[in-house]
Amino acid sequence: MRADGKGALPPYFNIDPDQAQTLLGASATTADFQHIAQACASGRADLASRGLEQTGARELRLFSTWEITRYLIPVATGHFRRVLKQNPDLPQGRSETQGGAKWFTLDEVLRLRAFFGSEGSKAKEYLPYRPAGQNAKLVAVANFKGGVGKTSTAAHLAMSAALDGYKVLVIDLDSQGSMTSIFGGSVEDEWQTVFPLIARHYASHLRGENQRRLDRGEAPTPLDDTLSDALEIRAPDLIQSTHWPNIDLIGAQLNLYWAEFQIPVWRMAARGWKLWDALTDSLAQDGLLDRYDIIFLDTPPALGYLTINGLAAADILLVPLGASFLEFDSTGRFFDMLHATFGSIEEAENLAARALGRDGLAFEWDAVRAVVTRYDGTQQAELAALMQAYLGPTLSPHRQDFTALIGQAGEQVQGIYEADYRDFNRETYVRGRETFDATYAAFKQLLVGAWRQDELAAQQAAE
């Protein structure tokens, strides 16, 4: 019934074919894509000129004494204030009103944490655990299903790890560049993404091959400009700092998608190139595994070559999914695809290895966990319990609640850790924050366990 009381058919009845044909307009050609792209570019420039651009210099908010002593440095507020008073050289914070709460930058919080770490009680965890001499842990967040919370989870984990005192690198492997815009990165083209690292890995392989050709008296394969240029690039050349003092970024933008076409072409030209090792080897060669504590890899919703590289590089693999039938179903198929993909790489390598009497290849991850995201306990409890029953320990026991705070966070504020709690009802804030803190805690449990395992193995090897 219409508001005026007259019954009306739903809009899909009685469509007039002639009128529809007129409205259809001319058919589209490839050139039209260019016109549409131009229209978008003009619109984008207009929006940017009105200050609606997403990227651009971003500033991290300040942290209050309440937040610092409740969430960041485990000391009583009174003690915290006394220590600051006794040490006038330490950051003293600033207040908006006379005698009001004191606020600190994250840089200052990190200095305070370092001070408590060196001067304070050894019984307290002022500095987060990382065993000496062990490499950074790489964490990939992946699922070929789109929109399941990969980027949100990776970004929140990166921020909570940074607040916890870790030095974090975030690598965006998704040409959509969402992670890059969360961290305010600016990326001109594929040369400021991981692309040159992968190209360099291939170029080094070719150079090795060429040496062998020369030794056999054969002509070497020439390296094209792309490969020669890539040989000059090191990972630190690609790293941008962000508005978070202890989070750095290797960004992405649309051109990174080119890698999905280029990598298989290179692989066809050199079957011996271990493309899945490209990222791991480059990051290790360029010293990033010493320089950072944790490296997060955000991947696109596809199992392409970039995702394979990210997954092969990872020590810990997190697979976010919602507690819905569709997401559970397609996540199952994602694991099927992982099995087929990595299984076939191993099989081919092991065939070659056996022929040459070398050690085979077996991919290994410290931990693989599915993580329920956007969980609504009132609607999804039954499905989540069923998923838990089938997946057992592979499903992280902590479910990340749906929280309106994420959707609400504005253009300049990305996620719960960047939001100022004064903008929300304190209860709402505490609940929203708790769910992401618990997501981090579940992840940190894996991280600490994996590092400890490495530390024990190193000790055993030394005995």
Q: Which residues lie near ligand ATP (CB under 6 A)?
A: 146-152, 174, 178, 301, 373-374, 400, 402-403, 406-407
Instruction: Answer for the pair 246, 114: CB distance below 8 angstroms, yes or no.
Output: no
Q: Which does 104 bind (CB under 5 to 8 A by kind): ligand ATP, Mg ion, none?
A: none
Q: Which does 400 bind (CB under 5 to 8 A by kind): ligand ATP, Mg ion, none?
A: ligand ATP
Q: Which does 403 bind (CB under 5 to 8 A by kind): ligand ATP, Mg ion, none?
A: ligand ATP
Whole-number Å distance between alpha carbons of 41 and 20: 30
Interaction residues for Mg ion, span 373-412 (CB under 5 A): none
- Up-side HSE of residue 170: CA atoms within 13 Å toward CB? 38
Instruction: Answer for the pair 319, 373: CB distance below 8 angstroms, yes or no.
Output: no
Interaction residues for Mg ion, span 320-379 (CB under 5 A): none
The full DSSP string for 61-129 is --EEHHHIIIIIS-S-HHHHHHHHHH-TTS---EESSTT--EEE-HHHHHHHHHHHHHHS-TTS--S--
| Contact characters 98-137, Mg ion, x per CB under 5 A | ----------------------------------------
We find the least distance from the C-beta atom of residue 344 to Mg ion, in angstroms, to be 26
Which residue is closest to Mg ion by CB? 151
What value, to the nearest 5°, has the Cα angle with vertex 152 and ends 370 and 44? 140
Give whichever of 154 and 312 is closer to Mg ion, judged by the CB atom: 154
User: Helix 195-215 crosses helix 258-269 at what angle (to 10 degrees)?
Assistant: 10
Single out the segment in contact with Mg ion by CB under 5 A; choices: 145-153, 211-219, 350-358, 407-415.
Answer: 145-153
Q: How many CB atoms lie within 10 A of CB 166?
A: 22
Give whichever of 75 and 295 is closer to ligand ATP, judged by the CB atom: 295
We find the least distance from the C-beta atom of residue 415 to ligand ATP, in angstroms, to be 8
Kindly list the distances between the CA atom of residue 330 and the CA atoms of 100, 273, 302, 336, 404, in Å, as whole numbers in the listed order: 52, 31, 12, 10, 25
Interaction residues for Mg ion, span 147-206 (CB under 5 A): 150-151, 178
Token code pair at residue 290: 């010493």
The full DSSP string for 351-373 is HHHHHHT--------SEEEEEEE
Q: Which does 152 bind (CB under 5 to 8 A by kind): ligand ATP, Mg ion, none?
A: ligand ATP
Q: Which does 148 bind (CB under 5 to 8 A by kind): Mg ion, ligand ATP, none?
A: ligand ATP
What value, to the nearest 5°, has the Cα angle with vertex 309 and ends 306 and 311? 110
We find the least distance from the C-beta atom of residue 151 to ligand ATP, in angstroms, to be 3
Give whichever of 173 and 450 is closer to ligand ATP, judged by the CB atom: 173
Q: Does 143 bind Mg ion (CB under 5 A)?
A: no
Single out the segment in contact with Mg ion by CB under 5 A; choices: 117-125, 130-138, 146-154, 204-212.
Answer: 146-154
Q: Which does 74 bind (CB under 5 to 8 A by kind): Mg ion, ligand ATP, none?
A: none
Q: Which does 160 bind (CB under 5 to 8 A by kind): Mg ion, ligand ATP, none?
A: none
Give whichever of 150 and 433 is closer to ligand ATP, judged by the CB atom: 150
We find the least distance from the C-beta atom of residue 411 to ligand ATP, in angstroms, to be 13
Give whichever of 165 and 320 is closer to ligand ATP, judged by the CB atom: 320
Query: Max alpha carbon distance in the chain (Å)?
Result: 90
We find the least distance from the C-beta atom of residue 61 to Mg ion, in angstroms, to be 24
Distance of CA 458 to the CA centre of its chain: 29
Token code pair at residue 39: 């229209």
Q: Which does 415 bind (CB under 5 to 8 A by kind): Mg ion, ligand ATP, none?
A: none
Give whichever of 176 and 282 is closer to ligand ATP, judged by the CB atom: 176
Instruction: Answer for the pair 64, 105: CB distance below 8 angstroms, yes or no.
Output: no
We find the least distance from the C-beta atom of residue 396 to ligand ATP, in angstroms, to be 14
We find the least distance from the C-beta atom of residue 437 to ligand ATP, in angstroms, to be 13
We find the least distance from the C-beta atom of residue 262 to ligand ATP, in angstroms, to be 22
* CA nearest to 402, candidates 424, 432, 428, 430: 432
Give whichever of 266 and 424 is closer to ligand ATP, judged by the CB atom: 424
Give whichever of 323 and 450 is closer to ligand ATP, judged by the CB atom: 323
Give whichever of 293 and 298 is closer to Mg ion, judged by the CB atom: 298
Per-residue b/e over 113-134, b at no fewer than 16 CB within 10 Å? Answer: bebbbeebeeeeebebebeeeb
Whole-number Å distance between alpha carbons of 68 and 83: 14
We find the least distance from the C-beta atom of residue 374 to ligand ATP, in angstroms, to be 4
Whole-number Å distance between alpha carbons of 210 and 214: 6
Report the DSSP pairing between strands 316-322 and 367-373: parallel
Per-residue b/e over 427-457, b at no fewer than 16 CB within 10 Å? Answer: eebeebbebbbbbbebbbebbeebbeebbee
We find the least distance from the C-beta atom of residue 194 to ligand ATP, in angstroms, to be 16
Residues engaged in binding Mg ion (CB under 5 A): 150-151, 178
